[in-house]
Amino acid sequence: MADTAYDADHFRHVIADKGALAVIPSNPSRASKPPLDKHLYAQRHLVEGGSSKLKQFRRVATRYEKTAGNDSAVVTIAATIPWMRYVSTAPSITVAISMNV
């Protein structure tokens, strides 16, 4: 998923070479407009919201780490914190099962 600014043939070719579907709205000045899955593009806010949550962590937002391995580790740790908050507040399965009995 990308914004209209990334509507270029070379981006679309790289995405297609990786076996993925390019969900990029066409630039208004483009002569031939490739098809766009509007339903899938509407889900873009989920990706942007997730990256926004990660950017709340200063080390992730400022790209403090110098190596790719360290940067990946920091992003992984930063991603587990909101996930753990979600899991701890989600209703447990055992409670749902005992309510049905």
What is d(CA 17, CA 11) in angstroms, rounded to the nearest whole number?
10
Q: Is residue 78 a contact partner of residue 60, using CB atoms and an 8 Å limit?
A: yes
**CA distances (Å), origin 8, targets 26, 67, 86:** 9, 30, 38
Instruction: Give me the amino acid identity at 82.
Output: P
Domain spans of the chain?
A: 4-42, 45-100
Contacts with 56 (C-beta within 8 Å, 6 or more apart), sequence order? none
- Which two three-digit tokens encode residue 58? 């200063």
Helix (H, G, I), strand (E, B) or coil at 73: helix
pLDDT, one tens digit per residue, over 50-99 is: 888 888 888 788 877 788 888 888 888 888 988 888 888 766 665 555 55
pLDDT, one tens digit per residue, over 11-38 is: 889 989 999 888 888 888 888 888 888 8
